[in-house]
Amino acid sequence: MEDRRLVFIDISARFSKAALLLGFVVIGLLFAVPAKAQDTDSRSELKGSLNSLSTLYQSEVARLEKRQKESKALYDDGLISRVEFENGEKALADARAKVEQAAREIAAANQPAPAVALNAASILPSSNNAWSTGNSKIDNLVRHYGKLHGVDPFLVYCLMSQESSFTVGATSPKGAQGLMQLMPGTAARYGVTNPYDVAQNIMGGTRYLKDLLKLFNGRVDLALAGYNAGEGAVMKYGNTVPPYNETRNYVRLILKRYGQKQTS
């Protein structure tokens, strides 16, 4: 009798564990369906933005090819200098490089999303969902370019909030433009032809932030100071945050939101 009782208890325990596991699977599936639909929409928006950017770059290549063909004829006739002709060649090569870069990004965006295991952890909210600019297209681009260039998307979000409050058409009195407030020289450095284009602006700003982080050995405070005051100012003051009230407040506010302590 005692043996039967123990067998019954063991069977009941196994049944309970199986029921609990089944419950996790069902809950995971319920959460996975809307999440998958949301991810599909996000990827579609991202692909649309990248395709628009690619079309813009291709148009620029076509324009420069036409101009360079005319320049070649003028150069052959001795009507323009060699330097002017070679500058045109360089501009065309740079434009073609942008088309190739856009193609690589589109190819990366077309890769299938990795499968997510159905377990209790998979239904917990992702840290990526803890922030939002209020615009899913901008959110997706921030995540895409952050991942592409190895910069924490949340840091890009914090910087963007301080720079423009997520206003696409923002223009500062000093001439900084767009969501990440790119100065004309910085925009040109990173191939941004239209600072008010959301994808181009986020791409340029994220690449600039990446280069600043690399320049200052991962120091977030110095990278932010460089973004605000220029990397030259940070180096001028011995790789510390420059003693400008605007810059120090800028760094302090972003770090407070980002959750890191200022280290200088």
| Residue 32, token pair as written in the block | 């996975």
Q: Which residues contact 154 (CB under 8 A, 6 or more apart)?
A: 127, 130, 131, 258
Residue among 60, 105, 163, 231 flagged as catalytic = 163
Q: Which residues contact 254 (CB under 8 A, 6 or more apart)?
A: 158, 159, 162, 224
Q: Which residue has the tokens 């605007």?
A: 246
Contact criterion met (CB below 8 Å) for 101 and 39: no
Residue ranges of the alpha helices (H) in the chain? Answer: 2-76, 82-109, 136-149, 153-164, 184-189, 198-215, 220-229, 231-236, 245-258
CA 161, CA 192: separation in Å to the nearest integer? Answer: 20
For residue 27, give the nearest of 125, 117, 127, 123 by alpha carbon: 123
Told to judge if 105 belongs to the known catalytic residues of this protein, a careful annotator would answer: no
Long-range contacts of 246-250 (CB under 8 A, 24+ apart): 250/162, 250/224, 250/225
For residue 177, give the nearest of 161, 165, 164 by alpha carbon: 164
Q: Which residues contact 203 (CB under 8 A, 6 or more apart)?
A: 53, 141, 145, 190, 192
CA 181, CA 144: separation in Å to the nearest integer? Answer: 19
Active site residue ranges:
163
